[in-house]
Amino acid sequence: MAGTAEQTQLLDELANLLKKQNQQAQQGSISEVEQLGKQADSIVKKISQTRILDSVKFKNKKEKLQKLYGDLCLAVTAQKAGAAEQLSEIRRVRKTIGAYKDNA
């Protein structure tokens, strides 16, 4: 298993990636969120394989990661809702334009 400093570094790297993902999600940069997610995935695999978060000494970091992940999920959900609203508005406008076109 990796030493405590290396374990801490992995957890900090994941926390930083989650923060960046959250910022990008709030800005609507979903493609950037996906790119950062790919980077985070390799770190998550390492953390999972070494079972770092099972250790009591990393309880606070685990809670922080859970909060960051929850925040990211909320930000992505908000973006999805915004995109759904925009799509609905586009459909409504297209329908209205189609009605005017048919009556012209």
Rounded CA separation 2/76 (Å): 33
Tens digits of per-residue pLDDT, 5-38?
999 999 999 999 999 999 999 898 888 999 999 9
pLDDT band at 2 (very low <50, low <70, confident <90, very high): low
pLDDT band at 49 (very low <50, low <70, confident <90, very high): very high
Q: Residue 78's domain spans which residues?
A: 4-103
**DSSP secondary structure string for all residues of 32-101:** HHHHHHHHHHHHHHHHHHHTGGGSGGGHHHHHHHHHHHHHHHHHHHHHHHHHHHHHHHHHHHHHHHHHHH
Q: What is the CATH number of the domain that holds 57?
A: 1.20.58
The pTM score is 0.77
CA dist 18 → 15, 39, 44 (Å): 5, 10, 11
Tokens of 72: 């990211």
For the segment 53-81, the average pLDDT, to the nearest whole number, is 92
The total number of structural domains in the chain stands at 1
